Structures are given as C-alpha cells and as structure tokens.
Structure 1
Amino acid sequence: MVNGLKLPEQFVERIEGMRAGRIEPVAPRDAATVVVLRDHPEHGLQVFMLRRVSSMAFAPGAYVFPGGSVDPRDGDTDIAWAGPSPAEWGAAFRAGDKLARELVCAAVRETFEESLILLAGPAGTAVVDDTRGDTWEADRQALLARTVSLAEMLNRRGLVLRSDLLRPWAHWITPAIEPKRYDTRFFVAAIPPGQRAGDVSTEADRVTWVRPEDAVRRAQAGEWFLMPPTLATLSELAGYRTVADVLAARREIVTYEPTAEIIDGEPYLVLPPETARHYPRG
C-alpha cells in the first residue's frame, strides 16, 4: 500500500528524467495562504474557500484558501505595522526577517485582493469594519495591477497592518516534480467584525463558507478537488469547535514537501505520513 496519490502516467517520464539529471526542478516561489475563519451561529466553525477556474495553469478546479506568491514590493519597510514583528514571524516560520515581512504582507494583500477581507485598521487596536464600495474596489484593482504596494495603500488611508490578527499554521513546498512550484506558509485569521467576504477574484468561479469536516467529506467522496496541503489543513481544523480555539492553538511549524516516486512501474505522489491518512491508500 502506498501513502499517497497515484499520478497520471505522463509523470513517469518526468520522474525518470529528474532521476537521471536530465530535468532540473523548478525553484519554488515564496507564497502565503490565509485560512479565513468565522463562527456561524448554526453551523459552527467555518472556513472561506474559493474554487479556482478551470483555465488556471496551477491546480485548476481546486478549492483553495485565499493566497498567492510574494510580490517584491511586499517587502516595503515603510508600512505601518502592529503586532508580532517580522523577526517574530521569522522565528515561527524559520525565515529571515525580510522574507517574514514579505510573507505577512503577501498574506494580507492577497486576502484583500481575493476576498475583500482586510486585516488592517486605523490603529493597532482597531480594524476596518467595511471594505465594500467603489473606493475600496479601486484600491483592490490597483493592488492587482501592481501600480501601488500594500504599504502605499495602507499609508494613504492611514491604516496599520494588523499582524496580530494572523497566526502561523503550516508550511508546504510543492513537489519537485511539478512545473510550477510554491514555498507556501499557511496562516489562520478570523474575519474582522463588520467585514464581509466578497466573490471578487477573477481566478475563482465560486466562493463559499464551509465547515472543515464537510469540505473533507466532499473531497473524500470525490465531489471536491483539494490539494494535499488544503486537505491536511482542513482535517486539522475539523478538530476545533470555535475560531478562538484555532487562534489559541500552539503550533510547531513543520515543513512538508511530498515526493514523486515510481512504485511497481506507476507514478505516485508520496505524502508525509502525518498527512497521508487523509487520503485513501493507493
């Protein structure tokens, strides 16, 4: 029995090419993903998810959390900042101060770009309560076009990035066999009071709030496509009752990087033992 997922047959040639040194793995891009949480009065703990459009080059049709790769301007040092410092985030994620700053800024920026949820406020003890309206949409479009940085947007509005609203959760690296790779740190955060998640991302054709256990069940029934890091994260979150419980959890961040192997002549993505239990065995 194999702890992992069977890959399409075309991966055999790529795996063999990498073994022989004919194919070099692509360097992964640093990225951040945010699991946005809420407490629903009837359904309990829920997470916000997007379904990627089928035309996407990476993970088409997958249900994912908001997130994306780091932009060079995410490292702007003139951003107003409240909460744990880049050094503290670096310690949590085993990253240098510069990368840690970029990851937190990317987490906040990408979440706003893909959902309108903004983890920032007019002070270190306050948060924006509504991001709907034409001026906010103009700012979101400017961020998407990279004509302004997150720091520039927040500074112009007199806002402070609230890094204390985030918590570190996980670290996954896309397998070397993939042509597009990401070195992704996972964060968790509660949706701020008064804010509403919007269906605004052009990279998604559906958004939804869902209980973690329901998302896992749908994936295991073949109804939803979830990538291994997403399924593992949802399976872990299914063990918590409330947002407060999740935010209070103590996490030691372990780096996971699945590997591709040929087993009995067939290609497999071999998952870390701690996460493989979430999938049917091959």
Structure 2
Amino acid sequence: MSESGVQARDASTVMLVRDAAEGIEVFLQRRVTGMAFAGGVTVFPGGGVDATDATADIAWAGPEPAWWAERFATDEPTAQALVAAAVRETFEECGVLLAGPTPDSVVEDSARYRAARGKLECRELSLAEFLAAENLVLRADLLRPWSNWITPEAEPRRYDTRFFVAVLPHGQDADGATSEAAHVAWRTPEQALASWRAGEHVLMPPTWSQLDALRGFADTTAVLAGERVIEPIMPKYSPGAAGHPLSDFPDNERYFAELPELGALRGR
C-alpha cells in the first residue's frame, strides 16, 4: 500500500503521431479546468482502465496479450485490458479508431460511429459490444509500447499508466469533441516544449518526458521501429523539500530548470 493508502489504478495513454512538413507532430489536448485529475493540464488522450476492457471475446489483430504482458511486465488479463483501454480512450477522446473491418484494414471514416462514441464515453456501451455490433477488429498491431509511469505514492489519486504510441490512420482525423478537453492541437514535440517553457500551458513530468523523447525521431516510421526498454518510473513527491518537490524521474533536474515560473509544480 502507498503512503496515501491509495492503490494505483491501471491506465492507458496514447501518443498519436503523424508526419508533417516540419517533422513529427503529436496530438495534444488541454484538459478542462476543474477536473479531478490534471485539470487544465496538457496531456495525450488516455484514461483509466474499465472493468469491461478485460472482456475476453474482443476480435483482436496483432500481438497477443502475452506479448504485451511481457513488454509491460504484467499479467495477460491486465495487458489485454490496457490495450483495449488504449483503443477505447483514443476513440472516446479524439475520435480516432484503431480498428478495422478485417485484421489488415482500418476504418477510414470514424465519424460514422459518432453515436457509439458518445455511448462509450457515457459508459452506456463497452468496447467489446461496440466492436461486435459493427463487426470490427481491434488493431493491436497499430500500437507500440512506449513507457510506464506511476503516480507518486503520496498523491491521493494514483495511476499506473502505460504509454503507447500510434500513427494517425489514413483518412481519420483527431478532434476535440469530448467533454474532457478544452483545447486540442497538433504540435511538433519541440513546439509543444517551447510553448511550455514560455508558460503558455502546463506539462506534467510524464508528458514532458515523452515529448522530449519524441524529438529524437525523424519520422513516424522511425518511431514505430524504435526499441523501447520499459521500466516503471515512479517519481518521489516531497512537498516539504527545498527546491523542487519531485525527484526520481529521468532528467528531473532539466525539467525543473526549464519549468516556467508559472508552472503548476514549481514552489509547491
């Protein structure tokens, strides 16, 4: 049990990327202010795993749950739920659907499923029910495992988040038609980081870290081909510590050195 007595909830986050004239762009959304977790913060699409995400009868193409379990150091049922949550949350939060009518195809117009998207977001429909009703196959092969961050033990709301990366499917577009996003945009990693350094939006360490890593790739093909060593990262939160309150995450000194004066984490 953690210091706060709160067990970290499994969650999935997906970095959607695409190729543009200036290089890789990634889809970002600024969460609605006042949300219980990370309100007003700029993030990638994602959220907590639901019990229905572990449904065993989802039509599936690509690496099996055992493969994902090995990459994310977890058991197979949890791995399946994490991948399903990644697909569901991406569709709910930005309308991008990583599924297709056959194991080697992907839907080109996800807007036709707008009504189902709303029911998924309201939990009136499960991902398995949606895919079965539309005769769609979940495309696990369109996702790649990226990293694993765990909310500090002292926090009252905690997540064990697995980060995925996926290329925006041809013919689809990402939007902001969700109750959780106040603003959405495609940005190169450097643009997003420069805007953060200018104090124009807030990036928590996990998001900052992934954007920083994406800067090293020339295009989406290189991103998908990258071999990632995934080890759990759980920053340590020390609210009374001198200097910055978070430590024990990669490049934490650089994060705080670049953090703008109005950054949400400075001075707590």
Query: What TM-score comes out, normalization by structure 2 length?
Result: 0.92
Residue 189 of structure 1 deviates from its aligned partner by: 0.1
Secondary structure of the corresponding residue to residue 11 of structure 2:
strand
In the alignment, is residue 240 of structure 1 matched against residue 230 of structure 2?
no
Question: Does the alignment pair 1:268 with 2:253?
Answer: no
1:102-128: CA deviations, max 9, x gaps? 000000000000000000001111000
Aligned to 1:10: none
What SS is found at the alignment partner of 2:237?
Answer: strand
Residue equivalent to 1:197 = 174
1:39 equivalent in alignment to 2:16: no
Task: For residue 179 of structure 1, report the CA deviation from its aligned partner.
Answer: 1.4
- Which of 105, 110, 115 aligns to 1:131? It is 110
- After TM superposition, the structure 1 = structure 2 runs for residues 75-114 of structure 1, keeping only pairs within 5 Å, are 75-114=54-93
1:178 Cα deviation (Å)? 1.5
1:235–1:278 contact (8 Å) kept in structure 2: no
TM-score, normalised via structure 1 length: 0.87
* 1:25 matched residue in structure 2: 5
3-state SS of paired residue (2:110): coil
Contact 1:70-1:103 at 8 Å conserved across structures: yes
Aligned to 1:277, what secondary structure does the other structure show?
helix
* Cα offset, 1:60, TM superposition: 1.4
What is the rounded CA distance, in whole Å, between the counterparts of 1:273 and 1:31 in structure 2?
21
Within-5 A mapping of 1:1-282: 24-40=4-20, 42-133=21-112, 136-261=113-238, 262-264=240-242, 268-280=245-257
Q: Please state how far the C-alpha of 1:275 moved relative to its aligned partner.
A: 4.5
- Cα-to-partner distance string for 1:221-280 (whole Å, 9 max, x where unaligned): 22220010000000000111101110000001011101122334x771114244542331
> Is the 8 Å Cα contact of residues 115 and 197 (structure 1) preserved in structure 2?
yes
Counterpart contact for 2:189–2:211, Cα < 8 Å: yes
Q: 5+ unaligned residues in a row in structure 2: which ranges?
A: 259-265
Asked whether the equivalents of residues 244 and 256 of structure 2 are also in contact (C-alpha less than 8 Å), the reply is: no
The Cα shift of 1:129 comes to: 0.4
How far is 1:38 from its partner? 0.5
Taking structure 1 as reference, are residues 175 and 272 closer, same or farther at Cα in structure 2, changes over 3 Å only?
same
Bigger radius of gyration, 1 or 2? 1
What secondary structure does 1:250 align onto?
Answer: coil
- CA-to-partner distance for each residue in 1:45-89, whole Å, 9 max, x for gaps? 100010001111211111100000000000011110000000000
Q: What is the identity, as a one-letter code, of the residue corresponding to 1:93? A: F
Letter of the structure 1 residue corresponding to residue 8 of structure 2: P
* Cα separation, 2, equivalents of 1:267 and 1:49: 26
Cα distance between partner residues in 1 of 2:25 and 2:244 = 35
Q: Take 1:236 and 1:47, find their aligned partners in 2: how far apart are those partners?
A: 12
Question: How far is 1:142 from its partner?
Answer: 1.3
SS in 2 for 1:110: helix
* CA distance in structure 1 between the aligned counterparts of 2:135 and 2:152, rounded to whole angstroms: 41
Quote how far apart the aligned CAs of 1:147 are: 1.9
Which amino acid is 1:78 matched to? D
* Letter paired with 1:122: P
Superposition CA RMSD, Å = 1.8
Question: Structure with the greater relative contact order (CA < 8 A, sep ≥ 6): 1 or 2?
Answer: 1
Q: Is the 8 A contact 1:34 1:65 kept in 2?
A: yes
Aligned residues: 258
| Residues 260, 267 of structure 1: 8 Å contact kept | no
Worse overlay, 217-226 or 189-198 = 217-226
Structure 1: stretches of 5+ with no match in the other structure: 1-20
Would you say the 8 A contact 2:4–2:156 is kept in 1? Answer: no
Give the drift of 1:191.
0.6
Q: Tell which deviates more after alignment, 151-160 or 141-150.
A: 141-150
